[in-house]
Amino acid sequence: MNRLAATCVALGLFMHSGIGWCQSENLAPGFSGLPKDAKVAVMPLDIEIFSISAGGVFEPRADWTEAATRNFKSALQKRKGQLGLNTVEVPEKDADELVELNSLHGAVARSIEMHHFGAGALQLPTKAGKLDWSLGESTRAIKQATGADYAIFAWVRDSHASDERKAAMVAIALLSLGRVVQHGGLQTAYASLVELDTGRVLWFGRLRRESGNLKESDEDAGETLDTLFRTFPQAK
C-alpha cells in the first residue's frame, strides 16, 4: 500500500461521514484545480537528450534535444484542451530573461522529488507531508510578460544507448552469464503548475523509467507527456 492509499484508509471515517477528504500528494494543500479559462503561460521547455557511449559516458546531443523539444511542444499543444488549459506562450523577447526561472524550477523539482516523494528519512518534518514548495515571487516577471496567472514548467532528461553501447551491453551480458548491465537509457521528467503571484507549486508531476522516446515523433512525446501529466487536475 502506498503512502497516499494508507493515508486515505486512515481518514476513512471522515470520508465516510462526508466531513473530510484525502488530499493528493501531487497537489498543494487547498488546491484542487484551475478556475475555468484561467490563463496559463507555457515556459520554455527545459529538455536535454543524451547518447550513452560504449563506455557508459553520457554525451549531450543537440540534434536530439532540438527534435525532442519540438515534439514535446507539439504534443502539449495538441493536449491543452484535454488538460483544460488556456495557454499563452512566453514571448521570445522575454524568454532569455526568464531562463534563470527554468533553472530554479529544475532545482526545486529535484528537491520535491527527494524530500516530498522520497524515502521517509529524506522527508522534511517542517513540510508535514504536504506539497508545500515555492519558486518565490520572482515568478511575477512571467505574469508581467504574459498576462497569465499561472505557468507550466517542464524539466526532462532522456538518454539512449548508442549502437556501440548496445553491442557492449550484449557482450558484457554474455561474458557475465546474463548479468544485467545498467545504463541502457533512462528518462526522468518533472512538471509543475505554478501560481505566478506567489510562486507556489500547486501541482507536481514526475516520472522516472527506462522507456520512452521524445526525439522520434510527437506521438512518442505525447506518450511521455500523458504519463507525466496523468495526475494533473481538470480545470473547474
Q: Is 184 domain-assigned? A: yes
Q: How many domains does the chain have?
A: 1
Answer whether residue 21 is part of any domain: no
Domain of 89, CATH number, reads 3.30.160
Which positions of the chain have pLDDT values less than 70? 1-23, 54, 162-184
Please check whether residue 2 lies inside any domain of the structure.
no
User: How much is the CA Rg of the chain, to the nearest whole Å?
Assistant: 20
In a domain, 152, yes or no: yes
C-alpha distances (whole Å) from 210 to each of 69, 111, 184, 189 are 19, 21, 8, 12
pLDDT at res. 2:
46
Q: For residue 77, what is its C-alpha cell?
A: 499543444
CB 142 within 8 A of CB 43: yes
What sign has the CA pseudo-torsion 91, 206, 70, 68? positive
At 140 the pLDDT is: 96
pLDDT of residue 184: 52
For residue range 121-179, what is the model confidence (pLDDT) as tens digits?
A: 888 888 989 999 999 999 999 999 999 999 999 999 998 875 555 555 555 555 555 55
pTM above 0.75, yes or no: yes
CA distance 218 to 35: 28
In a domain, 17, yes or no: no
Q: Reduce the DSSP state of residue 207 to 3 states and report it.
A: strand
Does a structural domain hold residue 22?
no
16 in a domain, yes or no? no
CB-count burial class (<10 Å; 0-12, 13-18, 19+) for 82: exposed
CA 146/CA 178 separation, integer angstroms: 54
Residue type, 93: K
Cβ atoms of 31 and 178 within 8 Å: the answer is no
pLDDT at 75: 94
Question: What are the residues facing 52 on neighbouring strands?
Answer: 58, 161
Q: Show the domain range for 133.
A: 29-228
In a domain, 170, yes or no: yes
